[in-house]
Amino acid sequence: MALEATEARRIAERLMASAWIERDGVEFALRPGFLRLDPTDLLRVAAPGGAEIAVRLTQIETGADWELRVKGVRHIGSAYLSDAIGATGSGVQTSGVLGDVPSKWVVPQVPLLRDRHDTGGVASRQYLFAAPRVAGPWTGLSLFRSRDGADWDIPARAGDPALIGVLRAALGPPRSVWTWDEVNTLELRLRDPDGQLETVSDLQLLNGRNAALVVDADGGAELIQFRDVTPLGNDLYRLSTLLRGRRGSEARLAHAAGAVIVVLEDEGALFTEPLGLVGQQLRYRGVGRGEAFDEADTVTQTLRGTDLKPYAPAHVSGAWTAAGITLSWRRRTRIGGDWRDGTGTVPLAEAAEAYEVDILDSAGDVVRVLEAPTPQVLYAAADAQADFGSVPATLTLRVHQISAAVGRGFPATATVQET
């Protein structure tokens, strides 16, 4: 549609006046003598207080007894007149889409970051972290998801930028996840415009400060904490005095250079995936404002249900008797693991307590699987003789706690010896 400037401006003023005046609606009944009326006809009706107002009819319904139910809006004829003059302007201006700077994002496969994020076993909790790739305007990112690469939906949107960096050198495993890692350090490149990275005290660290995810190329991640921050200049930092494998993430303790670092100043954008998709590959695309969906990179990840996996048991031990080898361990919990009452007993956090124990030979192959409803099971002497020819004096095993939602949890691998 082509309009002159004056005509367009007058139409615009009439439309604005109409929208303002017609915000007041009325509804009333009329006797059959008004059957001649049609929508758009004007009537003058008495308003509360005795004043008369003009009403333009918008809807008329005729009842079985010919009574009319009428709806209308207020009408002020003079308000629809305009003598505005349009500006001459400077012609058509060429413009492009005003967009954000490019985005970076990650969907880590990680255990629950907070107890309150638990889904009760009905779905798998997922986290989205996103940030601008370079300095500039950034208003968020939409995460697109597909099972087949053809149909896409949006499960989450990130509005607040996360602190996302890149690991510059490989990070090795610690001597133990139960003590401070004072050997390894993280060297990373990360933009921190608000100066959020800072050294904290031991107490602040143990109270939850300075947590970060180290995310590998396949999406698997380790949750760490760091006490000391050393700026190296040019957006480079060294993080040291570490706590490793936090919240059951000790299955991922070695990371190659190039791994993504997410400093957890907040919990990201939360969403869930159905349990039926655990073990399947999902495709994700992150698209910021002004970015083209078709040009966005596709990241393919296997949904592991990591948030629902029971933690690896601890303190695996064995006791040799005439009946065989009694294997025992201590269970851990995904939820409510704070030591509050001094007993060391933590909530089960699963539908039922169950375990599977893999008995391994010298090559690491599974020779037998034992099942147990409690943190103890007998590896019978007859079974050991069948598997090894005699009851071994040294035994290597893997213990898994079982989830009703996703099956085996993280394994605890141990070698026990007869004493």
Residue 337's pLDDT is 81
- Number of C-beta neighbours around residue 277 at 10 A: 15
Torsion of CA 154, 159, 162, 167, to 10 degrees: 40
Q: How many Å from the N-terminal Cα to the C-terminal Cα in the chain?
A: 93
Residue 200's pLDDT is 96
| Confidence label for 341 from pLDDT (cuts 50, 70 and 90) | low
Mean pLDDT of 123-138: 91
Residue 12's pLDDT is 84
| Confidence label for 258 from pLDDT (cuts 50, 70 and 90) | very high
pLDDT for residue 208 is more than 80: yes
Residue 250's pLDDT is 94
Of residues 196 and 321, which shows the higher confidence score?
Answer: 321
> Is 416 within 8 Å of 394 (Cβ atoms)?
yes
* Per-position b or e across 96-115, b if 16+ CB within 10 A of its CB: eeeebeebbbbbbbbbbbee
pLDDT tens readout for residues 166-192: 999 999 999 999 999 999 999 999 988
For residue 97, give the nearest of 311, 291, 259 by alpha carbon.
291
Of residues 414 and 32, which shows the higher confidence score?
Answer: 414
| Confidence label for 53 from pLDDT (cuts 50, 70 and 90) | confident
pLDDT tens readout for residues 348-401: 999 999 999 999 999 999 999 999 999 999 999 999 999 999 999 999 999 999
Residue 414's pLDDT is 96
pLDDT tens readout for residues 54-94: 888 999 998 878 888 989 988 877 766 777 777 766 655 55
Residue at token pair 């009439």? 14
| Confidence label for 343 from pLDDT (cuts 50, 70 and 90) | low
- Number of C-beta neighbours around residue 165 at 10 A: 25
* Per-position b or e across 22-33, b if 16+ CB within 10 A of its CB: eeeebeeebeee
In the 8-state DSSP scheme, what is residue 334? S
Rounded CA-CA distance 201/179 in Å is: 16
pLDDT tens readout for residues 137-170: 888 999 999 998 889 999 999 988 999 999 999 9
pLDDT tens readout for residues 295-333: 899 999 999 999 999 999 999 999 999 999 999 999 999
Mean pLDDT of 258-286: 94
Torsion of CA 95, 99, 102, 104, to 10 degrees: -160
Residue 191's pLDDT is 86
- All structural domains of the chain, each given as residue ranges with its CATH number in brackets, are 5-80 (no CATH), 103-307 (2.40.10.170), 314-417 (2.60.40.10)
> Is 410 within 8 Å of 309 (Cβ atoms)?
yes
Find the length of the chain. Answer: 419
DSSP E strand boundaries for 24-122: 25-30, 42-46, 52-62, 68-74, 103-106
